[in-house]
Structure 1
Amino acid sequence: MSTMYKLKNMSDSRILITGGMGFIGSTLAHKLLSLEANVTLYDAMLPWYGGNPANIREIKDKVRFIKGDTRNFKLLSKSVKDTDVILNLAAQVSHPISMSHPLLDIDINCVGNLNVLEACRRFNDDATVVYSGTRGQVGEALYLPVDEKHPDNPLDINGIDKLAAEKYHLLYNRVYGIPTTSVRVGNTYGPRHQMKHGHYGVLNYFIRKAMLGETIKVYGDGKQTRDYCYVDDVADALILAAQKKSAIGEVFLIGSGEMIKFIDMVRKVIEIVGKGSYKLAPFPPGRREINVRNYYTTNRKIKSILGWEPRTSLEDGLRKTIAFYREKLKEYI
């Protein structure tokens, strides 16, 4: 895959990444440093999620780290004051956890995001805010590929709360003039993702299972369709959204543009890893009802406005990801 976009140098730009020690956040940090930005990582380091010191080992002396929760308005406000761009990734990202602990999901995904926006409104209304949304806001696809005009009908608490948070961001742009953008991120995989469990980031978890020679459970018939986007491509889309004024007030869907059956993704992982196996299994109680059957998206809008397209095929991305974990698996399980 080849694309024409180019990220601009961000020399002296002050960037705050909420959820910055996690998978996508730390990938952004590495990229932004290469663009000469000043980077601050704000992360609660909640144990069930992806914050990991290993993610920034090579750059730890080049970034500032604040151990903070977006639910802590006082600390968050101090962090927001002296920043030009906020890449707002902090979230409760597990669909099953959102159903078993709905108030936790509301607390992090609704209250936490309102705190970010209120901190900007009160103390730094010039800061550009790029919100990381999710494909789960769409729900079951009525047509494919999904685009930005598709109606939203999320199937679980996480999708509802992430949709509410997106609407908060758009509202604060319309009413208060805060420059906000939402990028709805699809199934993302790649280096630096937690592999402790499969509550989210299932492709990476399947890589772990295959590398350990274990059996991967595929729920249902495995014929669900998805697209999977490599983390470097996702990071580029978020940075472009921060760099271009044409993104302000917009919602973008991003994905790989490569539709694949779930079971074929599993087979591809096993093939490239060189070991592991899979078996079909019934959905656990309550999971089928929140499982989106088919989803993949078109990148037409973000390509036309920001020039973004994915650069990494699933084959190449899997090979890069597996090579990373062959060296560092112990740090992520």
Structure 2
Amino acid sequence: MSRNKYHDIDLSTSSFLITGGAGFIGSNLVDYLLHFGAKKVRVLDNLSNGYYHNIEEFMSNPAFEFLEGDIRDYETCVTAVEGMDYVSHQAALGSVPRSIKDPITSNAVNISGYLNVIQAVKENGNVKRFVYAASSSSYGTSPKLPKVEGEEGLPLSPYAITKRVNEFYGDTFSRVYGFHSIGLRYFNVFGPRQSFDNPYAAVIPLFFKASLNNEAPKIFGDGETSRDFTFVENAIQANIKGMLTTDLKSHEVINIACGDRTTLTELWGIIAELTDSDLKPIYQEERPGDVKHSLADITKARNLIGYNPLYTVKQGLKEAASFYINQQTEKP
């Protein structure tokens, strides 16, 4: 994957903490920072939802440090933040179905864990910027398209509640403590290092897995469900620009997406073409908690941090196809 540059300062004097850095988005962010010569990149991850193989290649880099630990432990978060200039909080338990099955654990990780991290960063006092992974699920029952920050509906799942609470805490820390952060509302991020072996894997890796295993993909609903699928490189750009922005006077939440939407049937058609598959999808009942349509207005992100997504869905899927095909080829 080509490596675009999204910063204009020297990173060799700055240290970065990436919570959840062994996960999908986190490990891609680590890759970017090390590629461009960051002074130190520290990962905090308990490997429950991330994978050692995502960060194994970084272990020999003297600028990289892996701290195995859990964000549910406050003292671990305090230790992780020490000496850091910037913090990107990616650690979370994703998946709407998982949160419906086990809301207790999702709450503990996504709310209590988040609170531990933001409190540790605030108390540290030396971190220049804190950004965190928010979610498009916060829009919930709002039927309006495109989705605009400040026009949310009611949450449709325990997962959505946890991510919305993160935003409430971010806003409260801004107003009460003068600690300003940025929530990045991801819209269905996909790309290299996203696992399809996880029991709660997202739709794109599952579609690739089905195609490469010559198995018909499953589509929940009539196939007209649509998403603003966002290639991971766009999310990396948002994290870098978000962390390095200097003009922030309050807590902000911004949509991170492409501003375009693709139905699940269209999505399968693109992936089938990329992988030379003639399989037809199997349509099943819609899942509880799923939003029917999702499309982002990215005007605020453009204006606040200069976000400009460089990858369309088709370009991102082409990159993802190469990753999954190579991964399949390398299996013993």
Aligned to 2:234: 233
Partner Cα separation in structure 1 for residue 147 and residue 35 of structure 2: 33
Does the 8 Å contact 1:189/1:228 carry over to 2?
yes
* Structure 1 residue 310, shift from structure 2 partner: 1.0
Alignment of 1:7-46 (within 5 A): 7-8=7-8, 9-37=10-38, 38-46=40-48
What is the Cα deviation at residue 82 of structure 1?
A: 1.4
Q: SS where residue 278 of structure 1 aligns?
A: coil
Within-5 A mapping of 1:199-278: 199-247=200-248, 249-275=251-277, 277-278=279-280
Q: In the TM superposition, what is the alpha-carbon distance from 1:213 to its structure 2 partner? A: 1.0
Matched ranges for 1:90-109 at <5 A: 90-109=91-110
Q: When the two structures are superposed, what TM-score results if normalisation uses the length of structure 1?
A: 0.91
Partner Cα separation in structure 2 for residue 69 and residue 190 of structure 1: 25
Instruction: Letter of the 2:264 partner, please give it.
Output: F
Q: Which runs of 5+ in 2 are unaligned?
A: none
Corresponding residue number in structure 2 for 1:119: 120
Amino acid at match of 1:139: G
How big is the shift at 1:198?
5.7
Separation of aligned partners in 2, 1:36 and 1:140: 43
Q: How many equivalent residue pairs? A: 323
Unaligned runs of 5+ in 1: none
Q: Deviations over 1:225-267 (max 9, x none)?
A: 1111110111111110110123552110111122111111011
Equivalent residue of 2:32, what SS?
helix
Task: Tell me by how many angstroms 1:42 deviates.
Answer: 0.6
Aligned mates of 2:295, 2:88 — CA distance in 1: 24
Q: Distance in 2 between matches of 1:303 and 1:276?
A: 39
Partner Cα separation in structure 2 for residue 113 and residue 235 of structure 1: 20
Distance 1:331 1:107, change over 3 A: farther
Higher mean displacement: 108-117 or 27-36: 27-36
1:17-65 superposed Cα distances (whole Å, 9 cap, x missing partner):
000001000000011112321100110100xx2x122223332222100
Distance 1:175 1:299, change over 3 A: same
Q: Where does 1:1-333 land on structure 2 (aligned, <5 Å)? A: 6-8=6-8, 9-37=10-38, 38-46=40-48, 49=49, 51-62=50-61, 63-124=64-125, 126-197=127-198, 199-247=200-248, 249-275=251-277, 277-283=279-285, 287=287, 289-329=288-328
> What amino acid maps onto 1:29 in structure 2?
V
The alpha-carbon deviation at position 121 of structure 1 amounts to: 3.1
Superposed CA offset, 1:55-99 (max 9, x none): 233322221001111001112211112111110011010111111
Check the 8 A contact 2:84/2:126 in 1, yes or no.
no
Instruction: Find the aligned partners of 1:126 and 1:212 in 2 and give their Cα distance.
Output: 46
- Secondary structure, counterpart of 1:40 in structure 2: strand
C-alpha displacement at 1:117, in angstroms? 1.8
TM superposition shift of 1:131: 1.0
The whole-number CA distance in structure 2 between the counterparts of 1:319 and 1:149 is 34
What fraction of aligned residue pairs are identical, expressed as a percent? 27
Distance 2:212 2:102 in 1: 31
Using the size of structure 2 for normalisation, the TM-score is 0.92
Q: Could you tell me whether the CA contact under 8 Å between 1:154 and 1:160 is conserved in 2? A: yes
Contact kept? 1:233, 1:310, Cα under 8 Å: yes
- Give, in whole Å, the separation in 2 of the partners of 1:220 and 1:6: 38
Cα separation, 1, equivalents of 2:299 and 2:279: 36
